[in-house]
Amino acid sequence: MVTREPITREGYQRLKEELHRLKTKERPAVIKAIAEARAHGDLRENAEYAAAKEKQGLLEARIRDLEHLHTCAQIIDYQELQNGRVIFGSTVTVQDLNTDSIKTFQIVGKFEADIKTGKIPVSSPIARALIGKEPDDIITVQVPKGIQEYKILKIELI
């Protein structure tokens, strides 16, 4: 049985686009590179062939991963769930009460999480602490560097 994983509609669309690009553009380019390298003769000492085969292996692994993600994905249409509280898909602006810095997080599925862009997985400690809260609520969360306290400033569904 396949375990379903939540994903935003936007994340699902990006997943489909990447899978399509890999299958229709990248895969044919790698196959062509392998054929060209083969034409150069002895494959045992052919660095181009070895590099193309390695690239093919990595590409096929990525395609398998994306196909698995596609199978497991459960699109959550968070726009329909709007209720003024933090939910899956919410973009939450918080104030770090330890440093007074302002941070913005979007709560997404684990497949689309990207800390650099502020997208945190719904299973993360911060996301779990935020779910169900309202503006002006204060949350306390245990993170690897210690206990963090955040005040929720704004909740948006973008």
- In tens, the pLDDT along 69-112 reads 888 888 887 666 567 889 998 999 999 998 999 999 999 998 89
**Domain match, 14 and 68 both:** yes
Please give the residue range of the domain that contains residue 126: 81-156
Can you tell me whether residue 107 is helix, strand or coil? strand
CA-based nearest residue to 83, from 143, 155, 16, 30: 155
pLDDT, position 80: 63
Q: pLDDT for 33-60, tens place per residue? A: 888 888 877 667 778 888 889 999 999 9
Q: How far apart are CA 124 and CA 56, in angstroms?
A: 33
**Domain match, 98 and 40 both:** no
**Domain match, 10 and 59 both:** yes
**Domain match, 88 and 151 both:** yes
Q: How many domains does the chain have?
A: 2
**Domain match, 71 and 92 both:** no
**Domain match, 142 and 98 both:** yes
Residue 53, domain CATH: 1.10.287.180
**Domain match, 85 and 128 both:** yes
CA-based nearest residue to 112, from 12, 4, 20, 1: 12
**Domain match, 94 and 127 both:** yes
pLDDT at residue 9 tops 90: no
> Of how many residues is the chain composed?
158
